[in-house]
Amino acid sequence: MNAPFPVEQHSLRILIAAPRGFCAGVDRAIEIVERAIALYGPPVYVRHEIVHNRFVVDGLRAKGAVFVESLDEVPDGVPVIFSAHGVPKAVPAEATARGLEWLDATCPLVSKVHREAERQIKAGRHILFIGHAGHPEVIGTFGQVPEGNMTLVETLEDVAALDFPADTPLSYLSQTTLSVDDTAAMIDAITTRFPEVVAPKAEDICYATSNRQAAVKEIAPLCQLVLVIGAPNSSNSLRLVEVAERSGATARLIQRADEIDAEWLSGVDTLGLTAGASAPEALVEEVLARLRSLRTVETEEVVTARERITFKLPRQLVS
């Protein structure tokens, strides 16, 4: 029988990033599902995971939410909610044609990108969209404009391969949950190749993504290991892992505390902890409890910004 992994005697310093966890768009999306269940009674159908977090989704499922990937799975006569990532225009149109009661939980900052896409197409410009292929937000944004009016660019190589004539009217937009630094490099490459390209009225990367990355940049250089609580399909959580690694720390994405291996803490004096925008604070507390079971810990919250943004609920849910 193997001996248990030895517990190190010195204390573990934990730097907890702030801001972390839920953003205003995620808060709003979860509240929409909870209020819809209270108003209509279960089941309430949700097209796609409302946010990318299994703990959150399972909690809402237990309350009466049913998660599906297409409207074909939604029976007649029940309400349906569209996820925080946004959907193509064809989806609410189909729901309306079927007579379904629907609620839109799209993050208002994603909706802002949708409106900007429509404006650019109306102005006669082709859109270069910086994002990750297959992500629900990208699919939703492409679905706001007629096919063929938007080109996805994921890498600097994609930008270099663009073959638009010099006089082509162009604009660019981006997914809201990208790496701030990578997106800046992409924009620089686009504007270098196409100096007349039109920028969005305001930065597309959302405040929460920027703030959480900035917080990780603050703590990661001081840490040997950074734990990021988030789902493997959560774009903003994956970007936090990348930011920590670029700052010189080892970084691991975890969904729950039981994924933590005691051996990860070997040789670690300072550990960073953060959570993606879809991860609730309860999971942060769960991880801290797990770490306390492995080592004597000293915690310090490192605050780099204060967030006070809130978003309005759909009119159907406001009494």
What's the pTM? Answer: 0.92
Annotated catalytic sites, by residue?
137
Confirm whether 317 is domain-assigned.
no
In a domain, 280, yes or no: yes
CA angle 126, 129, 130 (to 5 degrees): 150
Over the chain (319 residues), the average pLDDT of each successive run of 10 is 49 98 97 97 96 96 97 95 97 96 96 97 98 96 97 98 94 96 97 96 92 98 98 96 97 98 97 97 98 97 96 90
Domain count, the chain: 3
Residues 137 and 157 in one domain: yes
CA 216 to chain centre: 15
Residue 55 included in any domain: yes
- Asked, for residue 309, whether it belongs to a domain, the answer is no
Per-residue model confidence (pLDDT) at position 6: 47
Identify the CA nearest to 137 among candidates 36, 49, 207. Answer: 49
The residue written with tokens 């109306």 in the block is: 122
Domain span at 136: 108-193
Tell how strand 250-254 and strand 44-47 pair up.
Answer: unpaired
For residue 233, with 0-12 CB atoms within 10 Å meaning exposed, 13-18 middle and 19 or more buried, which class applies? middle
CB contact at 8 A, 120 and 171: yes
Question: For residue 316, is it within any domain?
Answer: no
- pLDDT recorded at residue 9: 56
Together in a domain, 43 and 130: no
